[in-house]
Amino acid sequence: MHIVNSFEELKKVIGYSFKYDKNESKIVGLLFAQPDSFTEDEILKKVDYYNNRSRETIDFFCIGYQPKMFEPALSVVTKVNNEDWTFNPENFNNLRIEIERKTKWKYSGSVELVLFNAYIDNEDEVKFDFSDALSIDLIKAKNEQLIYSVGEMFEKIFSISETITTDNPTKEMSLKLIGNSGKKSFVDILFNLLPEAIRKDTKRIYLYGTSNYEK
């Protein structure tokens, strides 16, 4: 896992990864997850797998997490490649503040995965695009039974990222996460059919639909 504590560091790491990728665009995922019981059970216990599962079309960053050797006084919260890792709340909040200043996105305090597009322009510079971004509240998704587990959702995201074909990866990701339920939901709403299914499909559209967080 790469460690980033600032917006500029994030751009440098993404720029470095583009040098070894075949793609000119990719999805960047910022995971804002404080180390509480939900994060431990749903994410940290499998973080080694997630670290190795993500591929060329998506880069995940667990904000605030770092090897213990960086600050030995902090408590160990997980292991990555058999190395102890800790959580630094100061680094977490520093990057949160930067993202909030540069975009319209605001952290809810929950466990959130923010997905947005990254591109390489004609001058080989990294550009971030938040105009079709996703902000997925993982706790809400599980509580509302839209997912069985975070692992299930991550696996779906990783699988979709391997099949991206457009130059707007997050929009394509959004549509595939919603699936065919989007069209069906609106038709069902018009004709007042299957109210329980409507509620679930509508929640899925709301949860996985993109938003424009550009300033």
Tens of pLDDT, residue by residue, the chain (215 residues): 678 889 999 999 998 888 877 777 889 999 999 999 999 999 999 988 887 787 666 888 999 999 999 999 999 999 888 899 999 999 999 999 999 999 999 999 999 999 999 998 877 889 999 999 999 999 988 888 888 899 998 998 888 888 888 888 888 888 888 764 433 334 443 434 444 554 555 566 666 778 899 98
In a domain, 153, yes or no: yes
In a domain, 22, yes or no: yes
In a domain, 186, yes or no: yes
Question: Inter-axis angle of helices 181-191 and 195-208, to 10 degrees?
Answer: 140
Q: Which residues form the domain of 157?
A: 7-208
In a domain, 215, yes or no: no
Do residues 204 and 181 lie in contact, with contact meaning Cβ atoms separated by under 8 Å? yes
CA triple 125-173-147, angle to 5 deg: 135
Separation in Å, CA 179 to CA 98, 110, 156, 167, 199: 33, 25, 12, 19, 15
Nearest to 169 by CA among 153, 158, 182: 158
The CA distance from 27 to 171, in Å, is 10
In a domain, 157, yes or no: yes
In a domain, 214, yes or no: no
In this prediction, residue 80 carries a pLDDT of: 86
Place of tokens 């000119």: 24
If one counts the domains in the chain, the total is: 1
In a domain, 76, yes or no: yes
Parallel/antiparallel/unpaired status of strands 65-67 and 112-120: unpaired
In a domain, 28, yes or no: yes
pTM summary value: 0.85
